[in-house]
Structure 1
Amino acid sequence: MLGRMQPGLGVRNPRTAQVDPAKMQGMYHWDDLRVFLAAHRGRSHAGAARLLGLDATTVGRRLTALESALGARLFNRTRSGLSLTREGAHVLAAAERIEEQLLGIEREVGGSDVRLEGLLRLTAGEGLMSLVLMPHLLAFREQHPGIDLELRTDPRPLDLARREADVALRLFRPREEALVVRRLGTLPYGLYGSEAYFARRGRPRTLRELPRHDFVTFDASLDAIPEMRWLRRHVPGARYAVRANSTSAILSACASGHGLAAVATAFAATDPRLVRVVPAAKLPSREVWSAVHQDLRGNARVRALVSWLADLFTRLEREAAPAHASQETS
C-alpha cells in the first residue's frame, strides 16, 4: 500500500517498558500498523485476517515483526482474544491518527476523481442487495463498463469514513454528520405465508387470528426494526418457529412452511411460493436511503451510481404501486 513512513511512534524504552515518545525516529511500514489496527478491531489473528483478506499466519508474522521493531509487546493473548497492553494502547492512539490522516487524503483525492472507471464499492443489506439490486445491476454495468463494482453485504454497517465502502444503501436515514444522504424510495411490507404452512396450520384471514399462528422472524439482535416492533405490538407473545439473521433464510423458512413472515413485498415477490395474508395488516414501510462520505460527493463514479439507484427505486415504486394496491384490497 505505502512504503515506510514516519508514524510518530516511539521505540520501547526497556527501563520503563513504555513506548518512548522521545524516540520518534523509527520508520515503520503502514501496512504493519494496518495489521495492528485490524488485530485490535478483530480481537484475534483470525478476525484481523478476515478484515484484511489475509491469512492468520501472515497476520501473526506481521504483528511479531512490529513488536520486534518497537521492542514492546502490544497484545496480551487470552482465551477470549487479543487485548491491548499499556504499550499497545499508546501505539493504538498514534496509529488511529495516522489512519485518519491517510483516509482523509484518499477521500480528498477520490472526491475529485472525474473518471467513470475504476473501483466502486457498494454496501447494502443482504436482502436488498440480492433480491432487489442484483437483478438490475447488469444494466448499470452495461452503462458504465469501465467501473469495477464491488458489492459488500456485511451484517454490520460498514464505515464510509474508513473507505470500507463508497456508497451505502440503508433502510433508515443515516445520521452521521460526515455523510451526504438521499432518500431513494420506500419498501412496502406485508405478512406472508405459503401453501405448505396453510396445509398444516390454516390460512389466517384477520388480525385476531394471528396469535394462533407461528412466525419466522429475525433474531433478537434485530428486535428494534419496525416490522419486529409491529409484530410485538399486534401479536404479543407471538410464537417464533424460526429466528434467523438473514433475509434469505427467513424467506426460505416461510416458503418451506415453518411459519408466517413480515417481509418487504419486493423480497416476497422473488419467490412464487410466498402468499400475502391478512391484507388489513398495515405493516410499516421502510425508507431506502443512499449515503456517501461528504469528501466523495464529487466523485464521478459515486455520482453515477447514486443517480442510477434513484432512478431504479423510482421506477420500482411506480411498477409496484398497482400490485400493492390490489393486495391491500383483496
Structure 2
Amino acid sequence: MIDPKTTFDWNHIRAFLTTAEEGSLSAAARQLGQTQPTLGRQVAALEEDLGVMLFERVGRTLELTVAGGELLEHVRAMREAADRVALVASGQNQDVDGRVAITASDVYSVHLLPPILRELRVNAPRLIIDVVASDDVQDLMRREADIAIRHVRPEQPDLIARLVREAKGYFYAATEYLDLRGRPKTVADLKHHDFVGSGDVPRMLEYLKPMGFPIDLDNFRTGSDSGLVAWEMCKQGFGISPMAEDVAEATPGIERILPDLAPIGFPIWLTTHRELHTSRRIRMVFDTLADHLTKD
C-alpha cells in the first residue's frame, strides 16, 4: 500500500504520463526534450516510490500494467485539473482568442459537437471555431485542422493522440420501416431485410460475416459515402444501419434491433499537433473536447 504521506516529483509524473501517451521512452524523450536514459530513470524512480511496476516491455513498445493504467487515469485528471485551475486563476479563459479548426466525421460534427461548442462559446467568447466535417485522416497533416476526432490512432510522429473512450455502436432502423417489414427476432431474420450502406460496403460485409450476418451486397439497396446521409436514409425508413449508441439514442423515431446482439466497439481518439503543449487556445479546446467525449 502507498504511504499517503509520500510525495512525488512532478517531473517523474510527467515522464510517466508522456511515456504512456507516446508508447515508448524514445518518443517520450523527444517530446519532452530529454535523453532516453534520463526519462527511464524518472519512470523507474516513480515505480520505486509507488512500489509497483507501471510498464512492461512488449517487443519494441511499452505497455501499461494494470497498475499503470489505473495511475494514468488519475494523472490525466490531475493534469487537466491543473490546466483548468491555471486558466481560471489567471483569468485567461476570457482572453483566449484566435481560430481553432476541429475535424470530425459529418455525423459527429452534427450530433456531438454543438453542445461542446456552446460551452466553448461561453468560456472563451473570443475563440473562432471552424468545424471540418470529414473522415480524412490527413486533415491534420495538411494543416486543414488543429484537432481531429477519429476512430483510428494516427501513425505520424508529429501528432499527439489521446484515447478518450471506447464507444459502442448497435444496429438501428426507423419505427416506420420495422412496422412495415417486421422486427427481426434473430440474426437469421436479417437475410430478409434491407440495409443502408455507409462508406465501403464490401469492407463492412467482411466485418459483419464473423458476427453471423446472413447478408450480401443485394441487401444494401441504398447507401452513401457520407455517414450523415446514410443515417438520414435510415431515419427515413430505407433500412437497417449501424450507428454510435450516443447518436442513435438521441434520435427520435429510431429503434435498436436485436437488443441482445453484442455491440460494435470502436475507439475515439483525440489528435492534435505538438503545439498542444504551447498553444493556449488549442489546449483549452482539446481539454474541453476530452472532458465531454470521455463521458458515457
TM over 0.5: yes
Q: Specify the structure having the higher radius of gyration (Cα).
A: 1
Question: Does the C-alpha gap of structure 1 residues 237 and 125 become closer, same or farther in structure 2, counting only changes over 3 Å?
Answer: same
Give the AA of the match of 1:230.
Answer: Y
Partner of 1:139: 119
CA contact (8 A) 2:188 2:214 kept: no
Unaligned runs of 5+ in 2: 1-91
CA contact (8 A) 1:190 1:283 kept: yes
CA-CA distance at 1:313 after TM superposition: 1.5
1:159 aligns with 2:139: yes
SS of 1:168 mapped into structure 2: strand
Percent of pairs identical after alignment?
A: 26
1:312 aligns with 2:289: no
Partner of 1:36: none
Unaligned runs of 5+ in 1: 1-113, 318-330
Question: Does the C-alpha gap of structure 1 residues 309 and 229 become closer, same or farther in structure 2, counting only changes over 3 Å?
Answer: farther
CA contact (8 A) 2:116 2:289 kept: no
1:203 aligns with 2:188: no
Partner of 1:263: 243
Partner of 1:34: none
SS of 1:205 mapped into structure 2: coil
- The aligned length equals 200
Question: Does the C-alpha gap of structure 1 residues 250 and 146 become closer, same or farther in structure 2, counting only changes over 3 Å?
Answer: same
Between the aligned partners of 2:275 and 2:236, the Cα distance in structure 1 is: 46
1:141-168 alpha-carbon deviations (Å, 9 max, x no partner):
1111121111111343343233211111
Between the aligned partners of 1:134 and 1:217, the Cα distance in structure 2 is: 26
SS of 2:184 mapped into structure 1: coil
CA contact (8 A) 1:216 1:243 kept: yes
CA contact (8 A) 1:207 1:280 kept: no
Partner of 2:156: 176
Between the aligned partners of 1:142 and 1:248, the Cα distance in structure 2 is: 28
CA contact (8 A) 1:184 1:309 kept: no
Query: TM-score, normalising length from structure 2?
Result: 0.62
Between the aligned partners of 2:136 and 2:103, the Cα distance in structure 1 is: 10
Partner of 1:212: 192
Give the AA of the match of 2:144.
Answer: E
CA-CA distance at 1:312 after TM superposition: 0.5
2:264 to 281, 284, 295: 284
1:261-299 alpha-carbon deviations (Å, 9 max, x no partner):
111112212321110110122132211111111244321
Between the aligned partners of 2:202 and 2:111, the Cα distance in structure 1 is: 22
Give the AA of the match of 2:213.
Answer: V
Give the AA of the match of 2:125.
Answer: P
1:298 to 274, 278, 283: 278
Between the aligned partners of 1:118 and 1:144, the Cα distance in structure 2 is: 10
1:237 to 193, 200, 215: 215
Give the alignment's Cα RMSD to 1 decimal.
2.0
Between the aligned partners of 1:204 and 1:183, the Cα distance in structure 2 is: 35
CA-CA distance at 1:213 after TM superposition: 1.3
1:188 to 168, 191, 196: 168
Between the aligned partners of 1:250 and 1:205, the Cα distance in structure 2 is: 24
1:39-75 alpha-carbon deviations (Å, 9 max, x no partner):
xxxxxxxxxxxxxxxxxxxxxxxxxxxxxxxxxxxxx
